Amino acid sequence: MKELHHECGIAAIYHLESPIPSKLAPKEGPEHVSRLMARMLLDLQNRGQLAAGMTTFNPKRDSVLSTYKQIGTVIEAFRLNHPAKFENIMRDHAGRAAIGHVRYATCGKNDRDHAQPFERYHGRKWKWFAMAFNGQLTNYLDLKSELLNKEDYYLMRDVDTEVIMHYLSYELRGDDRPDLVQVFKNLSQKFDGAYNLVFMNGHGDMAVVRDPLGFRPLSYAIEGPLFAAASESVALSNLGFTTVKTLQPGEMVLIQDKQLRVERFAEPRTKTAHCFFEWIYFANVASTLDERSVYLSRSALGKELAIQEHRLGLIKPDYNTVVVPVPDTGKAAADAMAFELGVPSVEGLMRNRHIGRTFIEGNNRVDRVRMKFSPLREVLEGRRVILVEDSIVRSTTLKSLLSLIRERGGAKEIHVRVACPPIIAPCFYGIDMSTVAELYAPKFMRGKVITLEEQQAMARELEADSLFYLPLDAIARCIRLPQERLCRACITGDYPTEAGERMYQLALRKHDDGGGNGRTYEGGCGAPV
């Protein structure tokens, strides 16, 4: 699944006024707590590698808000390999509070202007704000049209982050400082889709917001006067926080008038829509999302693969059988599957960690896969290989890997096991697979539940000896969350929001009309930027 675009990542940190500094704060003191942002974003690097940035708050500075952002990884953007340059950045943007972002986008230019946070300058401090966003507004086109139909509105960037910024600005209008809880309550009644936000204004007010359905994960922690939040718990744990909490869907952390409180801005829903792909692929394996360990979830998926293998008797493992993970997200599932089958789990594919992810490196994925992965012939030659992959979306990467393992690795047989059901429908909540035509499984499936015959046809097309997917009901069982709390739209075709369902019907019509190559939302791209 290395063909998929990642999510973005957001983070926030704040040292509240206190005579006693936090033991986790940098040695330079509370006014330099923004130094910790680069470290937090490093731990979120798996979620976006196009750009990184932060906005800091310092009331002693002429510019109370100061934004720094650059193209590249966190190391490149913050010049972490150049200590003197890094120190200059940290000194120039020092503050007792900061919000941060790592970007991957499905649209929008790959330039600094599209990097986040976005900052909107205003002469009044509570109207001067910066924000960063993780998700995708499914009703972006409607919101964009509504804005442009107003007199004298203009969008500099065709991305939903800018639309959010305009709607935020509209809610902040008037002569009285608004109630930020009410502001986000009003926005929740307009927005459809996935939107986690970090917001900070010129007064030093901060809001960390999770959408009412909880598509994307969001964690926070408090230690003395130090508060921090991030898309994944690992960014907080690695700072030294021992108690990391989950921000619930429809909740926001608000820091205002030197006080911190957790507020509900949207009514609780009977159903949530946590994206199951977070556990399968997107999140750092060291993270815990909504009280569910990513590692244990992936391990459970591997055990489930072994159970299905025993139940169906697809192959009979012997002394010549090895399980090989596709690095790195397939490793936990592969290890668990191998243990249950009683065969070795070996690293038969080595990944060159100095080459970027295949989906970031451009369109010629076949050549890049060959550059990125090295099969170990000493491990694979003459062996029956059970190759464990986290999922199959477009199949391009997997087909190249199978060729590598057979030709350069010398494997005798290759049996593909997928720790996910087939992807049969696009995602409109922040993952870059918005058309039916680009998906692999629908080309073979006649219904929503895949048959053994259809899996055999896939195996033949991929030139594998066999292929097997996990069944639909395995996902909720392995993550240990009820199905009604998960978004499984891409594997069921059932969307948790009204706009998502409308987009799916549009995608199906475009596919049937032969126009399924362009993104479903093209003409106004609602991208996870």
3-class secondary structure per residue, 28-50? CCHHHHHHHHHHHHHHCHHHCCC
pLDDT of 361 reads 45
pLDDT of 2 reads 41
Contact 107, 524 (CB under 8 A): no
Q: List Cα–Cα distances, 508 to 5, 253, 392, in angstroms.
A: 22, 39, 20
**pLDDT tens digits along 180-199:** 999 999 999 999 999 999 99
Distance of CA 355 to the CA centre of its chain: 20
- CA separation for the pair 255, 315 (Å, rounded): 58
Lowest mean pLDDT among 41-45, 391-395, 409-413: 391-395
Predicted confidence (pLDDT) at residue 501 exceeds the cutoff of 60: yes
- Characterize the bridge pairing of strands 259-264 and 373-375: unpaired
Would you state the structure tokens that stand for residue 343, as one six-digit string? Answer: 């065969």
Q: Where are the alpha helices (DSSP H) in 180-285?
A: 180-188, 234-237, 277
Amino acid letter, residue 116 = Q
Q: Is the dihedral of CA 111, 428, 302, 9 positive or negative?
A: positive
Query: What size, in residues, is the chain?
Result: 529
- CA separation for the pair 102, 116 (Å, rounded): 8
pTM score above 0.85: yes
CATH superfamily of 9-273: Aminohydrolase, N-terminal nucleophile (Ntn) domain (3.60.20.10)
Q: What is the CATH number of domain 292-495?
A: 3.40.50.2020
Report which of 316, 478, 441, 281 is spatially closest to residue 386, judged by C-alpha positions: 316
Average pLDDT score, the chain? 90
Report which of 489, 488, 462 is spatially closest to residue 477, judged by C-alpha positions: 488
pLDDT of 359 reads 40
Domain with CATH 3.40.50.2020 in the chain: 292-495
Q: Which of 8, 420, 478, 525 is catalytic?
A: 8
pLDDT of 360 reads 40
pLDDT of 371 reads 79
What residues contact 514, with CB distance under 8 A and at least 6 apart?
none
DSSP 139: T
The band of 156, judged by pLDDT with boundaries at 50, 70 and 90, is: confident
pLDDT of 169 reads 95
Predicted confidence (pLDDT) at residue 504 exceeds the cutoff of 90: yes
Report which of 95, 116, 125, 208 is spatially closest to residue 160, judged by C-alpha positions: 116
Tokens 């991929």, residue located: 462
Mean pLDDT computed over 203-226: 97
- CA separation for the pair 206, 180 (Å, rounded): 9
Q: Is 8 a catalytic residue?
A: yes
- Residue 352: CB atoms within 10 A of its CB come to 11
- The number of CA neighbours under 13 Å toward the Cβ of 248 is 11
DSSP, collapsed to helix, strand or coil, labels residue 205 as coil
pLDDT of 365 reads 59
User: CA dihedral defined by 203, 206, 212, 216, rounded to 10 degrees?
Assistant: 140
- CA separation for the pair 459, 453 (Å, rounded): 10
